[in-house]
Amino acid sequence: MPAAPPVFCALFLAAGRLVEPHAPTVALGLYVCAYIAGGTATAVVTWLSLRVGRVDVNFLMLVAALGAAYLGAWTEGGILLFLFSLSNALEFHVLGRTRRAIRSLMALRPPEALVRRDGLEATVPADTLRVGDVIIVRPAERLPADGVVVRGESSIDQSPITGESLPVTVSVGALVFAGTINQRGSLDVEVTKGPQDTTLARIIALVEQAQAAQVPAQRLIDRFGQVYALAVILASAATCGVLVGLGTPGAVAFYRAITLLVVASPCAIVISTPATVLSAIANAARRGVLFKGGAFLEKLASVNTVVFDKTGTLTVGRPAVTDVIAFAGDETAVLATAAALEQRSEHALADAIVAACRSRGLTLPLPEAAEAVTGRGIRGSVGGRRVVVGSERFLAEEGVEVTDDHRRILTRLRGQGKTPILVGEGRVQGIIALADTLRPQAAATVQELRTLGISRIVVLSGDHAQAVAAIAGPLGLDDARGDLLPEQKVEAIRALAAGGGVAMIGDGVNDAPALAEASVGIALGAASTDAAMETADVVLMGDDLQRFAYALRLSRQARRVVAQNLIFAASVIVALIVIVLATGLRLAFGVVGHEGSTVVVVFNGLRLLRFRCAGCAGCALPPTWPVVRRRGELRLG
């Protein structure tokens, strides 16, 4: 409701009070105008509700105002309509702030794009981009679509989408997202998703879906509200009848019944939950946590078991060199020799060895010859020396002796969940161990979950059991299970659910069934598979697990605020009813108490827009979409 109706209602009401001693007829006209200004919107909503057989709070307020007018208490009826329309306007404004803040995400995507088609460059509306188009993105421009870099190198500010605080360097082959900002060089990007399928579009859709959905508590309140409103009407009528039967004058009895009708109306109870939930959803979205509905915000607060996938969730999802053991020469020589050959391989382990060599600033010689043997290793010539890099079996086949001492080291590394690669030149020169390493935030996240009272933290993975145990051990997890098929993960989730709410965090296609089975399924990262993002109830944008701990704290705080609002609203209603029945209460005071409680619960819920938790690592993260105030309006910058 706009602010104009309550303003005009107040002006007409004040004018009526001023002229009433001198011109009662004019004052009556002004009071009628105040009723029209403050009550038209309420009357329209009441009519629409009655047409579908619903009796709600608006009906109660309208009947009370008309009853006051019937008794000649125009001022008190006008105050009722003014405060009721004012509280509706405040609700409309403050709840609309959260919606406007999220809708302004639309502005992250530029309206136009420079596209190259058939060798010609043209500016076209971003909505008309097609998969396969090549768009040109200059420095300081926002990307209009999701795609893959096919030419150029630059740094991209991905914070609007992934929440990464530092720019990400991209080159040919890198994935980029609509709404992110190109900082340095010019890029040619091949569009991989249509305008409605981009990560940004999915973010907007998820938040809109969350705002439209009601939490179970709100659905219960709505169902209860219909019965409660009818009960209030009957109770007010009965009060009037009983008072008249006891000898109370009819006008006095009717006045008290009208007052009871006002103070017993559940306005504050009805608005307490949506005000809180929408504020929490908006806060979470700013920090890169997308709830698909208020129901999942409520469910997350009740979780006592957290299940992690391993690869890509607790770990970074790609191998890295963890150990270099030299038997001849030094570690640098072993690593450089292996990397010289692995330059010619496309295997992920080869990429990790080359990356480790380059991170140490080593210059790699080019091999004179290289031949990759699928699933075993690579052989070739480096600097005139014959070199073999690969598994124990492959080196034995190539005539390189693997001794018992070597095998003991290999067994130890495998027991730690690592993959050993041997480097040989006639004999074993060294061993390079690789493993999928823990995310930097994994340990801190587990510690925060312990602090929050999570009783069980489990990892379920399709990776082999030794690798899973090697990850779970340093983190101190309660259970670690490997070699699981997707259906076995589902069975494990069902078993854990017998002990309470379960949250499952994953990012892959094979995690989708388990995400669906869990009380709350959580997809990690904007780059999660489509299956994981579609199945999950909550999406953590970016690759920071600490956002989950933040989401858990926020959901629990939202539950506390909803409880505060409901207890406060119910207490005010009970207190006002007791006063009306016991001693009588001026309608104006009843109106102030009733509408005042509504405003209090709205603003109490809105505190979650600024929620931060002391000592929470998630709160230390920069907001994904920073809030900027301009001319009093809440906007995303």
Quick one: 191 and 327 in the same domain?
Answer: no
φ and ψ at residue 352, rounded to 5 degrees: -65, -40
Distances (CA, A) of 490 to 345, 510, 521, 522, 529: 37, 10, 12, 15, 18
Quick one: 187 and 137 in the same domain?
Answer: yes
- Report pLDDT for 432: 93
- Report pLDDT for 301: 92
283 within some domain = no
**Tens digit of pLDDT for each residue in 495-552?**
999 888 999 998 765 677 888 888 898 888 655 556 566 677 888 877 778 889 999 9
Tell me the pLDDT band of 626, cut-offs 50, 70 and 90: very low
Residue 157's domain comprises 110-197
pTM of the model: 0.69
Q: Where are the alpha helices (DSSP H) in 107-171?
A: 159-162
- Rounded to an integer, the average pLDDT of 411-432 is 88
- Report pLDDT for 586: 82
Q: Which residue has the higher pLDDT, 600 or 629?
A: 600
Quick one: 65 and 116 in the same domain?
Answer: no
**Tens digit of pLDDT for each residue in 91-113?**
666 555 555 545 555 566 788 89
Quick one: 237 and 343 in the same domain?
Answer: no
Quick one: 126 and 182 in the same domain?
Answer: yes
581 within some domain = yes
Q: Assign 3-class secondary structure to 285-333.
A: HHCCEEECCHHHHHHHCCEEEEEECHHHHHEEEEEEEEEEEECCCCHHH
Structure tokens at 199: 């990560």
* Residue 628: pLDDT over 60: no
**Tens digit of pLDDT for each residue in 13-35?**
889 888 888 888 898 999 899 98
Give dist(CA 194, CA 561) in Å, integer: 40
- Report pLDDT for 454: 92
Tell me the pLDDT band of 307, cut-offs 50, 70 and 90: very high
Give dist(CA 54, CA 74) in Å, integer: 27
144 within some domain = yes
Quick one: 179 and 238 in the same domain?
Answer: no
Quick one: 156 and 185 in the same domain?
Answer: yes
**Tens digit of pLDDT for each residue in 241-286?**
988 888 888 888 888 888 888 888 777 777 778 778 888 888 888 7
- Rounded to an integer, the average pLDDT of 387-401 is 89
Q: Which residue has the higher pLDDT, 541 or 393?
A: 393
The answer to whether 34 and 16 have CB atoms below 8 angstroms apart is yes
Query: Which of the following is catalytic: 56, 133, 146, 309?
Result: 309
Torsion over CA of 590, 593, 594 and 595, rounded to 10 degrees? 120
Q: Which of 402, 436, 470 is the last residue of a domain?
A: 436
% of the chain beyond a pLDDT of 90: 15
Quick one: 46 and 68 in the same domain?
Answer: yes
Q: Which of 399, 415, 436 is the last residue of a domain?
A: 436
- Report pLDDT for 107: 61
Quick one: 424 and 327 in the same domain?
Answer: yes
The answer to whether 177 and 187 have CB atoms below 8 angstroms apart is no
181 within some domain = yes
Q: Which of 154, 170, 197 is the last residue of a domain?
A: 197
Quick one: 181 and 214 in the same domain?
Answer: no
The DSSP string of 12-78 is HHHHHHHHTTT-HHHHHHHHHHHHHHHHHHHHHHHHHHHHTT---HHHHHHHHHHHHHHTT-HHHHH
Query: 42-56, 218-232, 457-471: which range is least confident on average?
Result: 218-232
Tell me the pLDDT band of 431, cut-offs 50, 70 and 90: very high
Quick one: 246 and 173 in the same domain?
Answer: no
The enclosing domain of 176 has a CATH number of: 2.70.150.10
The DSSP string of 488-508 is HHHHHHHHHHTTSEEEEEE-S
- Report pLDDT for 623: 54
- Rounded to an integer, the average pLDDT of 162-189 is 78
Give dist(CA 355, CA 376) in Å, integer: 20
- Provide the domain count of the chain: 3
Q: Is 530 an active-site residue?
A: no
The enclosing domain of 367 has a CATH number of: 3.40.1110.10
Give dist(CA 56, CA 45) in Å, integer: 9
Quick one: 339 and 419 in the same domain?
Answer: yes
286 within some domain = no
Tell me the pLDDT band of 66, cut-offs 50, 70 and 90: confident
422 within some domain = yes
52 within some domain = yes
Three-class DSSP category at 524: strand
Burial environment of residue 499 by CB neighbours within 10 A (0 to 12, 13 to 18, 19 or more): exposed
Average pLDDT of every residue of the chain: 81
The answer to whether 341 and 378 have CB atoms below 8 angstroms apart is yes
Q: Which residues make Cβ contacts (< 8 Å) with residue 340, sequence separation at least 6?
A: 364, 365, 366, 367, 382, 387
176 within some domain = yes
